[in-house]
Amino acid sequence: MMRALFSGVSGLKNHQTRMDVIGNNIANVNTTGFKASRVSFQDVLSQTIQGASAAQGNRGGTNPVQVGLGVGVASIDTIFTDGSYQSTGKMTDLAVTGKNLFILSDGTQEYYTRAGNFDFDGSGIYGVTGTGLKVMGWMANAAGEINATGSLTAIQIPEGTSMPPQVSTEIAIANNLSGDGKGIAAGIATADTKMNFEGTLNANTAVGEVVSFQVQTYLASGAQVPVTVNFKKTGEPGTNTWSVTTGDSTIGGQSFTVGTAMSPSTLSIDNGKGGTMTVAVDTAGIIAGATDALKGKTDLSAAANDTGIKLSGVLPADAQEGAVVETTVEVIDGNERVPYTITLTKTANTTENEWKVTKATYTDASGTVQDVTSTIAVTPVTVPATPATFIVEGVNTSTIAVNGLSLDMSGITTDAADTANAALNVYDSLGGAHKVEYTYTKTGVPGEWSVSAKVDGKNVDVTNDKIAFNSKGVLISPTSPNGGPQITVPGSAGATNFPVTMNLFSEDGTPALTQYSGKSTIMATTTDGYAAGTLKNVVANTSGELIGTFSNERTMTLAKVALATFSNPGGLEKAGSNYYVKSANSGERRIVSDGAFAPGSLEGSNVDLAEQFSDMIITQRGFQANSKDITTADEMLEIIANLKR
């Protein structure tokens, strides 16, 4: 009878424990990262009244006769299932999945938790602001790289953290160049252009007087260009000698005399610059007509531009008479870059530093060498006696004289489908920004484009300056990201010059630029360089990396949160405040660097209220039944006690 009482008491006590666990679960139904617990019961020792016996003879065996002595708690287990995830919008909050736990430290001991309500304190330490424990992980190096095999350290990102500048090495170019253009076959044509005029020269004209003839010529655009030919009476009185000029240019300094008794004839006058004046004279000494066959015309559909060149450099002050300095620069012939050669020769003038332009030529896009009438203005400065050097500083729309014909290059345009532009800032080693402007010009070669460039408004040389597409509009040259057009960008004060390559390929290695029909949509998308920046904000990503956003609009990985896992997470010992510590039965912690994170979210409790209420009813009934066991045993004892009455 006493055993029944003892069993009932154990039942009451252990159901009370179960109710305590259920109550704790319900109390933590809204606790971040809380893991519910459950109670498992087991029976305790049994009193053996009769032992078991084996079969003997004609009798079978018998089972043991035992009376149980009550119930005990077998275990209180922590259930490590995932709770629901609640979005907080706070990007320093983190949640994890599976059996992974965050690692916290107070400097001497590690703690583990599923509650990821983290933030930065005043010194930039990432941790639990309520307890001051620090989140452990790995800090990134200056390049934003994480070594997840290194030792764990407390994550600390001070306010005002700076990002050093990164020098640019490439500009990424993408989208499309129009396949509709016909291309620019640049150059200056030199076929004869004849100007016809008629008039009369009077032999009695006074010496020094001028007779002018004017004809109209027309450009390809339809614009009228008047050309004036002047006949000036020269020579001694009584003679009939004339000099000829066209506009403001004397025709080779030539003159001719019209006789008083002449047979019909033709005079051919060389102007000294590749042009001729053909004059027909009748028997009366009257010029009946003349044709000026000046060589040189401009094909305005493919005309040159940007031909005024500004040079700066040094000429040696101690050069001897006849010393020659020659420099070759590039000019724009229709949008083609062509070599322009200037030769300077030291003169015999008494002025010590007088130089003369003795020759100037350039090679047009067709490969023809053209003679150019050039002048040079020299500004005197104090210079060392060193070899001459020249630098191209700029190119301006101007005029050029080719083979004696002055050509005005202003106002010349090209078909929109034949040119395209793209621009982007690049950065030097000190973070200085430099604007790079690319101009793409379709050449006369099918599928080929020529590339020119400016940096901060000044022309720069381009190597590998041709890109090409096949008949399907697919890029075939260059063939690799580092084989594209390249320029050298002058660094700002204190920074070195640096090369920048045009990258025409996507990250997967396929061409990013095409040549299809339609408008050109080419654009410069990114550069790998950037200016210095100051930290503005920090957020976490799905890999547990803390990403900093800087004032230069760049982002960089600053740190990574480490996770721990145990072979038996249920064996961890609860230490309060949602923390666990390692126990003898939890196993050793293993570091996890590739766990899945939910930034801006927190994991809720995994307590299931419906389950807890069901367990509560069952526990209550169990407690009630055990109490009935005790009262029943008590009544039976009372009956026995009343037998003596």
Other C-beta atoms closer than 10 Å to the C-beta of 575 total 13
pLDDT above 90 for 391: no
Q: What pLDDT score does 377 carry?
A: 45
Q: What pLDDT score does 344 carry?
A: 64
Under the banding of pLDDT at 50, 70 and 90, the label for residue 364 is low
Burial of 14 (0-12, 13-18, 19+ CB in 10 A): buried
- Dig out the tokens for 460 from the structure: 């720069």
Residues 295/197, Cβ–Cβ less than 8 Å: no
| Mean local confidence (pLDDT), 157-184 | 90
Q: What pLDDT score does 270 carry?
A: 43
**Residue 483 DSSP one-character state:** G
Compute the distance between CA of residue 511 and CA of residue 187 in angstroms, rounded to an integer: 32
pLDDT above 90 for 514: yes
Under the banding of pLDDT at 50, 70 and 90, the label for residue 206 is confident
170-184+414-527 placed in CATH 3.20.20.120: no
Q: What pLDDT score does 286 carry?
A: 45
Compute the distance between CA of residue 562 and CA of residue 116 in angstroms, rounded to an integer: 12
pLDDT above 70 for 321: no
Q: What pLDDT score does 83 carry?
A: 92
Residues 235/257, Cβ–Cβ less than 8 Å: yes
Percentage of the chain lying above the pLDDT 70 cut? 66
Q: Give the C-alpha distances (Å, rounded to integers) separating 433 from 427, 463, 524.
A: 5, 22, 15
Under the banding of pLDDT at 50, 70 and 90, the label for residue 330 is low
| Mean local confidence (pLDDT), 551-556 | 92
Residues 372/401, Cβ–Cβ less than 8 Å: yes
Round the average pLDDT of the chain to a whole number and report it.
77
> Given phi > 0 = left and psi -120 to 50 = alpha, else beta, which region is 288?
alpha
Residues 570/77, Cβ–Cβ less than 8 Å: yes
pLDDT above 70 for 456: yes
- Dig out the tokens for 158 from the structure: 């001070």
More confident residue, 601 or 249: 601
Least confident piece of the model among 19-33, 161-175, 280-294: 280-294
Give the best-scoring range by mean pLDDT among 102-111, 231-240, 398-407: 102-111
> Given phi > 0 = left and psi -120 to 50 = alpha, else beta, which region is 600?
left
Question: DSSP assignment of 614-634, as one string?
Answer: HHHHHHHHHHHHHHHHHHHHH
- Parse the chain into domains and list their residue ranges: 2-80+606-644, 85-164+534-603, 170-184+414-527, 192-295, 300-408
pLDDT digits (tens, 9 = 90+) for 571-626: 999 999 999 999 999 999 999 988 899 999 999 999 999 999 999 999 999 999 98
Under the banding of pLDDT at 50, 70 and 90, the label for residue 6 is confident
| Mean local confidence (pLDDT), 61-81 | 89
Own/partner long-range contacts of 617-622 (Cβ < 8 Å, ≥24 apart)? 619/15, 619/18, 619/19, 619/22, 620/19, 622/11, 622/15, 622/18
pLDDT above 80 for 79: yes
Under the banding of pLDDT at 50, 70 and 90, the label for residue 390 is very low
Q: Single out the residue of 89, 11, 95, 183 nearest to residue 623, CA to CA.
A: 11
Compute the distance between CA of residue 377 and CA of residue 263 in angstroms, rounded to an integer: 51
pLDDT digits (tens, 9 = 90+) for 271-320: 443 444 454 444 444 444 444 433 333 222 223 333 445 454 555 545 55
Residues 170/503, Cβ–Cβ less than 8 Å: yes
Q: Give the C-alpha distances (Å, rounded to integers) separating 55 from 60, 61, 62, 63, 165.
A: 4, 4, 8, 11, 92
Compute the distance between CA of residue 128 and CA of residue 136 in angstroms, rounded to an integer: 11
Q: What pLDDT score does 67 carry?
A: 84
Burial of 98 (0-12, 13-18, 19+ CB in 10 A): middle
Least confident piece of the model among 95-104, 123-132, 226-235: 226-235
More confident residue, 201 or 146: 146
> Which residues, in sequence order, are CB contacts of 361 under 8 Å at separation 6+?
340, 341, 369, 370, 371, 372
| Mean local confidence (pLDDT), 180-191 | 58
Q: What pLDDT score does 258 carry?
A: 45
Compute the distance between CA of residue 126 and CA of residue 134 in angstroms, rounded to an integer: 6
- Dig out the tokens for 10 from the structure: 């154990």
